[in-house]
Amino acid sequence: MTVESILEKLVAFPVLGGESNLSIIHWIKDYVESHGVETKLVPNEEGTKASLHCRIGPAVDGGVILSGHTDVVPVEGQEWTTDPFVLTDKGDGKLYGRGSCDMKGFLACCLAALPQMIEAHLKKPIYFAFSYDEEIGCLAAPELAREINTYYTETPKYAIIGEPSLMEPIVGQKGIYILETYVNGSAGHSSRIKQEISAIHEAMHLILWLEQKMDQLIADKQLDNRFHPPHSSIHIGLVKGGIAPNIIADKASFYWDLRTIPKDDISSIVAEFEAFCREREEKNRKIFPGFEIKNVEHHPSVPHLDTKADDDIVGLIKKISGNSKLDTVSYAAEAGQFANEGFHAAICGPGSIEQAHRADEFIAIEQLEKGVEMMEKLITELSSEDFL
Ligand SMILES: [Zn+2]
């Protein structure tokens, strides 16, 4: 199958993050196995979703993992001019469809190159590692990366995460954590604001603390100029609470995210915030014993990626992508999770992140061809006697 016909197939599976991906993962499994390559599924507890991994080439240390996700973001509320789940060639050099760019284009490149990978006399193996639920918090990659480490007797060395990067090597990614904070205060007439504890007023203290924490990190020169912006960010995106101006709100909540540069630590920032919450509880319980602040994580934090410019994976990607300008991103991806499992990881894939998650998402055919070319160069590298 050509890369375009594979992409057409993949786009036709409307598997959103959070939904069962068994349809698309079984199509991939059948495709890979029809080429005589054994695959292994890593199901979730309920058996409704699964990641897939497989090895092409010899069982020796030092191979390369190609990582991608099979889920996409919703199309609801977006004004598409084509059917999002039908890959459409309008004749303008672009292929339109949900996931064409993020990131079924990369999966199609991997799958299209499979026959060549099998035929080549690879000295080091290539692994496919295809996950689910990436779009709702990179939920499946930690287990998949761990499983690859334990399942194979040999140890792969590298991981290329094929998120759309216009084929440029991405060596850094911010860590991301999303939380919801609930404040439980006491209700009453607004005139009694000093006798009751307003959940809104308290939420405001917490929000201000978070903003000041961000400002403090910047003032302390906790900066990393590889990132835009170069500092960790804390942002409150949704606030709820209250009924009327003359009623003290007994409940309030807010939804926020924390995006950290590698030198800041998500857990220590959150621990400091928790300590402040406990302080507020102690103070306010003197007035209202039922006062409580609860922080609930939206999903486990996604770790940062901090691959050094002189790492071997960077050298390899420069060679096979033809691009040598390194970059960083502030979106969540599975790269940091693969790095945490001990693989030398970086992001590089066809298409532009600017087209991701939008109406009329597309991948330029030229990008898809570059993705295939990268696979061919990877095969050449891994067939060479003197590959690192
Ligand atoms: Zn993606």
CA distances, 155 to each of 63, 83, 273 (Å): 7, 42, 39
Dist. CA 163 → ligand 1 center (Å): 5
Dist. CA 178 → ligand 1 center (Å): 18
Least confident of 9-23, 201-215, 255-269, 320-334: 320-334
Dist. CA 273 → ligand 1 center (Å): 30
Dist. CA 11 → ligand 1 center (Å): 14
Dist. CA 100 → ligand 1 center (Å): 10
H or E element that contains 256: strand 251-260
Mean pLDDT of 289-314: 96
Dist. CA 283 → ligand 1 center (Å): 44
Evaluate if residue 71 carries a pLDDT over 80: yes
Evaluate if residue 387 carries a pLDDT over 90: no
Least confident of 67-71, 112-116, 225-229: 225-229
Dist. CA 69 → ligand 1 center (Å): 7
Q: Which amino acid is at 216?
A: Q
3-state DSSP call for residue 43?
strand
Dist. CA 378 → ligand 1 center (Å): 21
Q: What percentage of the chain has pLDDT greater than the value 90? A: 97
Evaluate if residue 388 carries a pLDDT over 70: no
pTM: 0.91
Dist. CA 238 → ligand 1 center (Å): 24
Phi-psi region of 137 (alpha: psi -120 to 50; beta: other; left: phi over 0): left
How far is Cα of residue 123 from the mean position of the Cα atoms in its chain?
31
Query: Tell me, what's the pLDDT at 227?
Result: 92
Dist. CA 155 → ligand 1 center (Å): 25
Dist. CA 102 → ligand 1 center (Å): 5
Dist. CA 353 → ligand 1 center (Å): 8
Evaluate if residue 303 carries a pLDDT over 70: yes
DSSP per residue over 363-375, as a string?
EEHHHHHHHHHHH
Query: Tell me, what's the pLDDT at 256?
Result: 97
Mean pLDDT of 135-162: 97
Spatial distance between the Cα atoms of 4 and 201, rounded to a whole number of angstroms: 56
Evaluate if residue 143 carries a pLDDT over 90: yes
| Average pLDDT of every residue of the chain | 96
Dist. CA 298 → ligand 1 center (Å): 19
Kindly give the pairing relationship between strand 94-96 and strand 251-260: unpaired
Evaluate if residue 42 carries a pLDDT over 70: yes
Q: pLDDT (tens digit, 9 = 90+) per residue, 329-338?
A: 988 899 999 9
Kindly give the pairing relationship between strand 126-131 and strand 170-173: unpaired
Q: pLDDT (tens digit, 9 = 90+) per residue, 341-363?
A: 999 999 999 999 999 999 999 99
Radius of gyration of the chain (CA): 24
